[in-house]
Amino acid sequence: MNRLASEKSPYLLQHAHNPVDWFPWGEEAFARARAEDKPVFLSIGYSTCHWCHVMERESFENPAVADLLNRHFVSIKVDREERPDVDRIYMTFIQATTGQGGWPLNVFLTPDRKPFYGGTYFPPEGLHGRPGLTTVLRQIGQLWTTRRKEVLQSAGELHERLAAIAATEPAEAGPALTPAVLAAALERLKQDYDPQHGGFGGPPKFPRPSHPAFLLQAGRRYDDAEAVRRVLHTCERMAAGGLHDQIGGGFARYSVDERWLVPHFEKMLYDNAQLVSLYLDAFLVSGDPQFAGVARDILGYVLRDMTHPEGGFYSAEDADSEGKEGKFYCWTRAEIAALLSPAESAVALRRFGVTETGNFVDHSDPEPLAGQNVLSVVDPQLASEEAALLASAREKLLAARSRRVRPHLDDKILASWNGLMLGALARAAAVLGEETYRAAAEKNLAFLQAKLWDPSTRTLHHRWRDGERDAAQLLEAYAFLLAGVVDLYETTLEAHHLEFAVTLAEGMCARFEDMEAGGFWQTPADAADLILRLKEAYDGAEPAGNSVACLALLKLAAICDRPDFRRSAERTLRLFSRRLAQVPETAPYLLQALAFWVEPPRRVVVADDGDAVGRAALLRAAHGVFQPHKVVAGQAGPVEPYARSLPAPAGRATAYVCTGTACQAPTQEPAVLAGLLATRGVS
C-alpha cells in the first residue's frame, strides 16, 4: 500500500494499492520533487469516473508504468471533487493548450507547481492517435534531464498566460446591464435546440439544468411560448430516456447519444439536485403531474440510496459494477421474462422497448456483455389496466436489481453539493406539500452544521467522510449551502435558518469577495498551495460559485434589507457583464441572477400571530405558482424592519405582497395570494 491508504477520499483510496508511489496533494510531495530534482506527475479524477478506472487498470496498476513514474517523477493524486480549486487551475491550463478537457486529467509540473505539458486519458501505448503514457513519460523524463532550461522557461511563460486568463477587469468596465441583455440571451439560448429529441446541442448530451431553467424563466417573462415549449419537450424526452433510471429513479450524468437513450451511467448528486428544481418548475409552469412525478422519483432515489443515516447526502454512484459499465442497470429480455408474470412481462417489454439484441454495448470492454438493454420509455401509451401491471413489474425489477452487485458509492459528503440538494428538498416540500421532504431538508442542514460548520470560527469546511472533515475553504461550499439555506428559510420561515444564512453570507463575502474588481475568488487569499486564484463564472454541469452566490445574496438582501449584500451581487454582475452580453450561453445561472436584479422582486411577508395552519396554507400558495422573481419572509429574525411591523388581523395568518415601496391589499386567502403572484412582470 502507498501513502494514499491514509486518505479519506474514496478516489484516492482506490489507488492505495497501485505500485505507483503516490503522494496526496500537499507540501510533502513538492518538497520531495525539489529535493530529488524531479518533475511532478499530477493526476486528477474522481471515484465514479469510468475512464479514470480504465487508466488505473491499464497504467497505474502496470508495474512497468509504475517503475517509470517512481524513478523519474514525483506522482500526486487529487480528487477533483474534494479540491475543485486545484482541478480548475490545471483544467484551465489543459483547455488553453489543447482545446479539450475532461477526466482523468494528467499534467506535468515543475516542483514549484507550474504546468508545462498534459492531457486527459493516456493509454499505456499509443492508440487511435493518442500518445501512449509510457512514451510520454520517457520523453518528459529525457526533456527534464537534457533540456531543463527550456522546460522551465516554457512553464514560466505558460504560467503568465494562465495568470492573464485569470485576470479580471474592474466591475465598471463592462457593458450596461439592462433587460435587453436578458431578451438577447433568451434568443441565444434557444439556439441549438433539438426539435426531435429535446435538449440543446449534439451528443454527448448533458442535462445542464441551469440552461433550460433560465429559458423557462425568460420564456414566461417575455411571453415566449416557444421557449417554454422547448424546455417542457426537453424535460419530457429526458425523463423518457435511458438517462433517467426507469426502475430506481434519478438521472445519470449524461447521454452518449442525441436521444437521451444510452447514458454514461454514473449518477451525481449535483445533477439530481438541480433536476429536481427544474422538474418542479416544469410542473408549476405546465400543471402536468408527470413533471411532479419525476421530481418525486429523483428524491425517492436520493433518500433511499444516497443518504447517510444522520442526514448528509453522498456524492455519487459509479458507472461500473463488477468491472463493467452499466451492468447494474441493463437487462436482457430473458432476465425480464423470467422475473415477471406473462402479463407484467408483456407490458414491461413493450413499454421499455426491450429486444433480444439489446441497445447497449460497452466498447471499452474487451469482453462486452451481449443483449444488454438500457430501459427507456419507448411506448408511453398504457391502458388503464396496464398501469398496475407496470407498477408491479417495476417493483419486482427493482427488488431483483437490488440483489445485484451495486456500483461503487462515493460516500464523501460535500457541503457544496449538499447545499444544492438541501434547496431542492425544501422547494419540493413546499411545492408538492410533502412533509417528508421538509424533514429530510432539516435533518440535512443539522448534519452539515454538526459536521462541517465550526461556529467558533464561523468556518465552513468542504468535505466530511468517515468521521473527519477536510481543511479546504471553497467559495462553492459557502455559496451553494447559502442558496440552500435561503430556500429552506423561505419554505419554513424559521428564524434560525435566516440567521444562519446571514452568517454564511457574511463569512463568504469576508473570505472570497474581491472588493476592488468585484466578484468572488474560488479560494481565500491565504490558500498557499495554489499558483493562482481564479474566479469561476462558467455555469456548466454545476453552476459557478459566483453565479450561485450572486442570486443568493440578492434574495437575502431583499429579505433582510441588506444593501451590502446587494452591492456585492451588483459588483459580481458588472464584473461578468461582458460575458452576459457576449456569450450568455456560458452563464445561464448568472442570467437568472441578472433577471432578479434588473427590477425589484416581489416580497411576500407572512404575518401569522401563531396561526400555524394559516401560515402553512399561505406558504403552500406562495410556492405553488411559478414566480421566480419573489422572496418569502416571516417576521422573526433579521428580516427587514417593515416586515416586523405588519399585523395579522384577528389572529389569522395574513400575507402582504410588496414591490419596491408599494404593497397590494393584504389577504388571508391562499387563492388570492397565488393570484397576486401569478402575474408576470416585464421591465
Residue-wise pLDDT tens digits, 1-50: 899 999 999 999 999 999 999 999 999 999 999 999 999 999 999 999 98
Cell of 345: 412481462
In this structure, CATH architecture of domain 179-319+411-597: Alpha/alpha barrel (1.50)
Q: Does the pLDDT value for residue 286 go beyond 60?
A: yes
Mean pLDDT of the chain: 95
Model pTM score: 0.96
Quickly state the pLDDT bin for 100 (edges 50, 70, 90). Answer: confident
* Stretch (H or E) spanning 388: helix 384-401
In this structure, CATH architecture of domain 3-166: 3-Layer(aba) Sandwich (3.40)
The answer to whether 580 and 189 have CB atoms below 8 angstroms apart is no
pLDDT at 362: 85
Q: Does the pLDDT value for residue 169 go beyond 80?
A: no
pLDDT at 682: 39
Q: Does the pLDDT value for residue 645 go beyond 70?
A: yes
Q: Does the pLDDT value for residue 173 go beyond 70?
A: no
Residue 252 DSSP code: -
Alpha-carbon Rg for the chain in angstroms: 26
Other C-beta atoms closer than 10 Å to the C-beta of 317 total 25
% of the chain beyond a pLDDT of 70? 99
Quickly state the pLDDT bin for 140 (edges 50, 70, 90). Answer: very high
Q: How far apart are the first and last CA of the chain?
A: 63
Query: Which residue type occupies 91?
Result: M
Q: How many Cα atoms are found within 13 Å in the side-chain-facing hemisphere of 621?
A: 26
Residue-wise pLDDT tens digits, 344-381: 999 999 999 999 999 999 887 888 899 999 999 999 98
Dist. CA 565–CA 557, nearest whole Å: 5
Sign of CA dihedral 415, 421, 425, 427: positive
Quickly state the pLDDT bin for 171 (edges 50, 70, 90). Answer: low
pLDDT at 683: 33
Q: Does the pLDDT value for residue 554 go beyond 60?
A: yes
Render 547-578 in DSSP notation, one character per residue: HHHHHHHHHHHHHHT-HHHHHHHHHHHHHTHH
Single out the residue of 331, 328, 361, 326 nearest to residue 345, CA to CA: 331
Residue 305 dihedral angles phi and psi, to the nearest 5°: -115, -10
